[in-house]
Chain A
Amino acid sequence: MKILIVGGGMGGTILANNLARRLSTELRSGKARITMLSASDRHMYQPGLLYLAVGRMTPDELYRDQRSLLEPGIEFHVDPAEEFRLDKNEVRTQGGTVHGYDVMVVATGSRPMPQEIPGLAENSEMFYTEESALKMFRSLQQFQGGRVVIAMGVPHKCPMAPLEIAFMLHDYFRNRGILDKTKIHYTYPIGRVHSLENVAKWAAPEFDRLGISYETFFNVKEVDGTTKIVKSEEGTETNYDMLITIPAHRGMEVIEKNGMGARGWIPTHRNKLNMEGRDNVFVIGDTTNIPISKAGSTAHFEAEALGENIAAMLKMGMPVREYDGKVFCFIETGNDRATYASFNYLNPPEPKAPTRAIHWFKLAYNKLYWASARGLL
Chain B
Amino acid sequence: MSNRKIVDARGSFCPGPLMELIAAIKAAQIGDELEVLSSDKASANDIPEWIRKVKHEHLGTTEENGVWHVVVKKAK
A interface, CB within 8 angstroms of B:
154-155, 159, 189-191, 195-197, 217, 219, 233-235, 248, 262-263, 270, 291-293, 325, 327, 329, 341, 343-346, 348-349
Check B23 against A154 for contact (C-beta < 8 Å): yes
Given A219-B22, A291-B15, A293-B14: 10 more A-B contacts, CB < 8 Å: A154-B22, A189-B19, A190-B18, A190-B19, A190-B22, A191-B46, A219-B54, A292-B13, A348-B13, A349-B13
Q: How far is the CA of A235 from the CA of B50 in the complex (A)?
A: 12
Q: A248 and B10: CB pair below 8 A?
A: no
Q: How far is the CA of A73 from the CA of B16 in the complex (A)?
A: 40
Minimum CB–CB distance from B20 to chain A (whole Å) comes to 5
Taking the closest CB of chain B, its distance from the CB of A327, in whole angstroms, is 7
B53 interface neighbour in A217, A263, A341, Cβ under 8 Å = A217
**B11–A154 touching, CB < 8 Å:** no
Known: A191-B50, A248-B26. A196 touches B13 (CB 8 A): yes
Flag if B10 contacts A345 (CB, 8 Å): yes
Q: A154-B22, A190-B19 are in contact. Are A349 and B27 (CB under 8 A)?
A: no
* A325 to B23 CA separation, bound complex (whole angstroms): 20
Residues on A with C-beta less than 8 A from B53 are: 217, 234-235
Interface size in chain B (residues, C-beta < 8 A): 24
Chain B interface secondary structure, helix, strand, loop or mixed? helix
Does B42 reach chain A (CB closer than 8 Å)?
A: yes
> A190-B46, A233-B54 given as contacts; is B22 within 8 A of A195 (CB)?
no
Could you jot down 17 A-B contacts, CB within 8 Å?
A: A155-B19, A155-B23, A159-B15, A190-B16, A190-B22, A191-B18, A191-B46, A191-B50, A195-B14, A195-B18, A219-B54, A291-B10, A293-B14, A293-B15, A327-B14, A349-B13, A349-B14
The answer to whether A291 touches B8, judged by C-beta atoms less than 8 angstroms apart, is yes
Q: Please measure, in the bound complex, the distance between the C-alpha atom of A121 and the C-alpha atom of B8, giving whole angstroms.
A: 31
Q: Are A263 and B27 in contact (CB under 8 A)?
A: yes
> Are the CB atoms of A291 and B9 closer together than 8 Å?
yes
Knowing A195-B16, A262-B27, A263-B27 are in contact, say whether A189-B22 is a contact too (CB < 8 A): yes
Compute how far the CA of A293 lies from the CA of B38 in the bound complex, rounded to whole angstroms: 16
Given contacts A217-B53, A291-B20, contact A195 B27 (CB under 8 A): no
Separation of A195 and B22 alpha carbons in the complex (Å): 13
Assuming the contacts A189-B22, A263-B27, A345-B10, asked whether A197 and B15 have C-beta atoms less than 8 A apart, the reply is no
When the two chains form their complex, are residues B19 and A234 in contact, meaning their CB atoms are under 8 A apart? Answer: no
